[in-house]
């Protein structure tokens, strides 16, 4: 069955309201993208705790999917007016033919080679190198698929660092990819902690899919025991705040890896850990920095 898609360009402050109005008006789905994507004006959106999060880009392209028989020349002007915008705002309407949407979505996610012997492979793909360490992971509700530079930095560090004697703690585990990778790389044990209960559940499912025993729990400071290897791929502000706690969770002589840090934020995070760790800037990937350290005895 074909569909109709209405496309509108709106400013940042109108995105949320207009999206809600379009859904109330019968839109089956609403998609928001940076109207400047692919140009010099494209910008990423980051939501650091303590900072006002952006609700969109400076100029946003909203696509709203409707049933084929929807009267969009009536619905869209009414929606614009309800959202406090000019009813005569320009928009386009496109007929979209029925497609295999699942297959179309899956085609966007290909196996990713992290190191010569470590791959992230979506479940619908055959591993390109069956002899490699292959982590089965699909896009989902929790952060961490291997596509983001911060995840790649941590995975490469784990591949170089983890030994059979190590127990690994992934603080802010998201999808569980780092703790799962640690087990597949030969760690003695691995645990993951996250404040998001959905992430914890997703991580448990991912561990089962990869046939590894990893304990994932909701964040509980009192229940967390120190580990020989600690990895935290979060964001710069919470990493700075968490420095005393993450120091407590790292055994003397143990190692820590910190990611989710933009290059211009690295000095602040670095300084927060120098009292408890011998720190170094270990790697950079596309403007993101990996900081590592050894816990002082």
pLDDT per residue as tens digits for the range 56-80: 678 889 999 999 999 999 999 999 9
Q: What pLDDT sits at residue 59? A: 85
The string of pLDDT tens digits covering residues 151-188 is 999 999 999 999 999 999 999 999 999 999 999 999 99
Q: What pLDDT sits at residue 43? A: 60
On average, the pLDDT of the chain sits at 88
pLDDT(39) > 70: no
Report DSSP letters for the chain, one per residue.
--EEEEEEEEEGGGHHHHHHHHHHTT-SEEEEEETTTTSTT-------TTSPPPSS-SEEEEEEEEETT--HHHHHHHHHHHTTS-TT--EEEEEE----HHHHHHTT---EEEETTEEEE-TTS--S-TTSEEEE----SSS-SS-SHHHHHHHHHHHHH--TT-EEEEES-TTSHHHHHHHHTT-SEEEEEES-HHHHHHHHHHHHHTT---EEEE--GGGPPPEEEEEEES-HHHHHHTHHHHHHTEEEEEEEEEEEEEGGGHHHHHHHHTTTEEEEEEEEETTEEEEEEEE--
Phi and psi of 157, rounded to 5°? -65, -45
CATH of 3-98, picked from 3.30.70, 3.10.20, 3.90.1720, 2.60.120, is: 3.30.70
The string of pLDDT tens digits covering residues 203-231 is 999 999 999 999 999 886 555 789 999 99
pLDDT(141) > 60: no
CA distance 240 to 263: 14
pTM over 0.75: no
Contact between residue 219 and residue 193 where contact means Cβ atoms under 8 Å apart? yes
Q: What pLDDT sits at residue 53? A: 45
- Four-point Cα dihedral 207, 210, 213, 218, nearest 10: -10
CA distance 36 to 267: 31
**For the chain, which residues make up each domain, given as ranges?**
3-98, 107-295
Residue whose tokens read 């005393």:
244
pLDDT(110) > 60: yes
Class of CATH domain 107-295:
alpha beta
The string of pLDDT tens digits covering residues 3-26 is 899 999 998 889 899 999 999 999
């Amino acid at each position: 069955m074909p569909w109709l898609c209405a496309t509108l360009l709106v400013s940042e402050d109108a995105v949320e309201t207009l999206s809600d109005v379009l859904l109330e008006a019968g839109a089956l789905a609403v998609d928001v993208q940076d109207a400047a994507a692919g140009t010099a004006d494209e910008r990423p959106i980051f939501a650091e705790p303590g900072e006002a999060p952006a609700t969109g880009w400076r100029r946003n392209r909203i696509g709203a999917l409707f049933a084929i028989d929807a009267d969009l020349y009536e619905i869209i002007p009414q929606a614009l007016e309800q959202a406090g915008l000019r009813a005569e705002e320009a928009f386009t309407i496109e007929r979209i033919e029925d497609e295999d949407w699942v297959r179309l979505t899956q085609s966007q996610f290909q196996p990713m080679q992290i190191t010569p012997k470590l791959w992230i492979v979506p479940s619908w793909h055959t591993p390109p190198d069956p002899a490699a360490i292959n982590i089965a992971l699909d896009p989902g509700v929790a952060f961490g698929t291997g596509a983001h530079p911060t995840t790649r930095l941590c995975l490469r560090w784990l591949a170089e660092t983890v030994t059979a004697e190590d127990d690994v703690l992934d603080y802010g585990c998201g999808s569980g990819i780092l703790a799962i990778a640690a087990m597949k790389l030969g760690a003695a044990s691995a645990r993951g902690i996250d404040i998001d209960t959905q992430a914890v559940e997703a991580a448990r499912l991912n561990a089962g899919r990869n046939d590894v025993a990893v304990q994932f729990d909701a964040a509980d400071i009192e229940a967390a025991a120190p580990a020989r290897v600690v990895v935290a791929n979060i964001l710069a502000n919470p990493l700075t705040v968490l420095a005393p706690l993450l120091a407590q969770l790292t055994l003397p002589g143990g190692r820590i890896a910190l990611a989710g840090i933009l290059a211009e934020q690295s000095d602040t995070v670095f300084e927060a850990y120098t009292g408890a760790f011998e720190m170094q800037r270990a790697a950079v990937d596309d403007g993101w920095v990996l900081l590592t350290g050894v816990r002082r005895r």
